[in-house]
Amino acid sequence: MIIVLSMAGVLWGVGWAIGVPRAVRFMMVALLMIAVVAMHIVLPDGHPLRENTGREPALWIFIIVAGLLGWGYSHLLHGVRARASGAPSFNYEPPENAGPFTDTELDRYARHIVLREIGGAGQKALKDASVLVVGAGGLGAPALQYLAAAGVGTIGVIDDDTVANSNLQRQIIHTDARIGMSKAHSAAEAITALNPYVTVKPYTRKLDRVIAAELVNDYDLVLDGTDNFEARYLVNEVCAKAGVPLISAALTQWEGQISLYDPKQGTPCYKCIFPQAPDRSLVPSCAEGGVLGPLPGVLGAMMAVEAVKALTGAGEGLRGRMLIYDALYAETRTISMKPRADCPVCG
């Protein structure tokens, strides 16, 4: 028995010394224990190997079961704590992105730098910027990918949902292998894989009044990709009070809309344009009414475009205007919007 435990200790210690992940080390030790049990089952009574490893397999089966239960409990407890606190539940240390561009970054962002409207100064502004994306679903997925690819230095993503099979028709930042995983963490993995030169901060929790103001104040710009009016009103209220520009988009079935709300700069806020939520029967959810798969990609990419423009000062953004896209009939139209003096949020 001492021999087997010593071997398990050596496997764990060597794995730790060479940087093998904890889960892999646990699996190596588990395989050793399973091999010992198999040996006890196959070899006859009185065999020297059985005599020197506890004689009966029952003890080793008990150790394996106890170890699995302990690992499962620890894993579950760690996940619950992470979900409650909003902290990442996987070993993840974002890279430092401060300082000048590396040669790799200069090559990566070369197509931006040669654009007259962005240039080196604009790309540095992106590197120094921080953007919070609320929701890692249909709209958040493409927006997050393009923000990361564009080199936005710090990207926060908050979502309390997990990846489901039905999401993958349109939420392209997630993969089949990550079904059941937190959307915020799934998005963080995808962003890091796409661009290791940006810092991503995943928050696995719902954006509520307890944390909303403090969180929004940490960012230069907010993108709202939520799918319900309650969340949109909260994000709008917090951004308006903090003076943080808000890019908000929404979609249903074949149509989507997008605007930039920045009352500090004289634009209306979301509440000015939508003073009250419509009846739920008039705005079916994606599950109820369906949604064209590529449509969130179109609107989400537009959100990223407006974010890059807002952060670099390029072109003319959607402040005071709403762009409406009808995918079914391939039509785009823009309407002007004005603040309401009696708006309870920004009036």
The catalytic site residues sit at 286
Dist. CA 52–CA 47, nearest whole Å:
9
Q: Do residues 195 and 149 lie in contact, with contact meaning Cβ atoms separated by under 8 Å? A: yes
Q: Which residue has the tokens 């197509």?
A: 111
In the structure encoding, which two tokens stand for residue 120, read together? 């080196």
Task: Give the C-alpha separation, 231 to 241, whole Å.
Answer: 16
Q: Are 284 and 231 in contact (CB under 8 A)?
A: no
